[in-house]
Amino acid sequence: MTTSPPASADHASHYATGMTLVGCGGLVLSVDIPLIRLSESGFYTVIVVRGVLSSLAAVLIWWLARRMGRATGPLIVGRLGLLVSGLYALATILFLVAVYETKAANVVFILALNPMFAAILSWTIAGEKPSRATLIAIPATLVGVLMIIGAGIEAGNWLGDLAALATAFLIALALTLARRSRQDMRYASAISAIVPAMIALPFVATGGGLESEAIGWLVVNGAIVMPLALICLAAAPMFVPSPMVSMGYLVETVLAPVWMWMIFAERPSPLSLVGGALIVATLAAHAVAELAARRRMKVAHRP
């Protein structure tokens, strides 16, 4: 006679699965901006190629999973799934605006606000009250973002910085809604890339076709990198709260500027660097505090 594992073990397994998805998603996502820059492609070309390949790859992965008996749900789950996909589609457009209008370090530093936005939205939408550490971290990260945007105004990059800020908010909102629904929306973010691609297609057609000096990098990005990263991050809310999922973007925040410096010698401005360091340090301290609190709760609930 076999016995089922205790609930605590099941919870720990779910949490480990979720954090693995978060870590893998963030690691893969960190090469997104470098690959876009390496391709030397036009704005609309990136939207079309990246969007079409990402959505096709997601459909293929979903179809193979169904054939193997590992997925039975639809690609888009009801009206809420459509809303979440729409949020991801808008976030995709704004993200690419940010990539083209400001420095890569500014983009990823601002995107690191995801956990703070997710914590606020989880509180207001899902009723998950933020911890004391989160409430302390929110104003510190906002100061960091204001420093980055201030540097962007001086350099004329404020439009890209604001687009990155809107992207962070939209992604956090999509993750929170997916978390609240308890539905499998792992394919929503990758599938939604087809929407901006269809919008940009006429501009590519009337502008002389695809504009790219090294389209192979863009194909790798759209067909492999983005689907893998987006599916991992979109699946994680089924296992862990959305603020923890947003921590995946902190991995990108740390690594993407390193890749940009190594490949393109692109360095952020001093004020942006200070603001970004403040955000990263605050979020790192926040993560340590949250993990410590979780451990104390586990110890307190042990029989």
Instruction: Indicate whether 1 belongs to any domain.
Output: no
pLDDT for res 77: 76
The per-residue pLDDT for 11 is 59
Distances (CA, A) of 118 to 65, 112, 121, 172, 244: 29, 11, 5, 5, 9
**Whole-angstrom distance, CA of residue 119 vs CA of residue 245:** 11
In a domain, 4, yes or no: no
- SS3 assignment, position 212: strand
287 in a structural domain = yes
The pLDDT assigned to 126 comes to 67
**Which H or E run includes 109?**
helix 104-111
Sign of the alpha-carbon dihedral angle for 224, 225, 229, 234: negative
119, 124, 121, 112: which is closest to 136 by C-alpha? 119
| Surface-to-core class of residue 212, CB atoms within 10 Å of its CB (0-12 exposed, 13-18 middle, 19+ buried) | middle
Burial label for 26, CB within 10 Å (0-12, 13-18, 19+), is buried
Angle 241-275-33 (CA atoms, 0-180°, nearest 5)? 70
Q: What Å distances lie between residue 85 and 80, 151, 194, 239, 265, CA to CA?
A: 8, 32, 10, 20, 35
DSSP 223: I
Distance, in Å, from the CA atom of 204 to the CA atom of 48, rounded to the nearest integer, reads 8
Q: Which two tokens stand for residue 22?
A: 């978060």
Q: Is residue 154 part of a domain?
A: yes
**How far apart are alpha carbons 23 and 16 in whole angstroms?**
10
Are 180 and 125 a contacting pair, CB within 8 Å?
Answer: yes
In a domain, 185, yes or no: yes
Determine contact, residues 123/129, Cβ cutoff 8 Å. yes
Q: How many domains does the chain have?
A: 1
Q: Is 5 domain-assigned?
A: no
pLDDT in the model for residue 72: 60
| Per-residue pLDDT of the chain in tens (303 residues, 90 and over written 9) | 444 444 455 556 666 777 788 778 888 888 988 999 999 998 899 999 988 998 898 888 888 878 777 666 777 777 888 898 899 999 989 988 988 888 877 887 788 777 778 878 888 876 777 777 777 777 777 787 777 767 666 666 778 888 988 998 998 898 888 877 777 777 787 788 899 999 999 989 887 788 889 999 999 998 888 888 877 877 777 777 666 666 666 677 777 877 888 888 877 777 777 877 777 787 777 767 766 766 666 666 555
DSSP, res 126: I
* Residue 69 domain-assigned (yes or no): yes
Q: Residue 75's domain spans which residues?
A: 28-300
9, part of any domain: no
Supply the pTM of this predicted model.
0.72
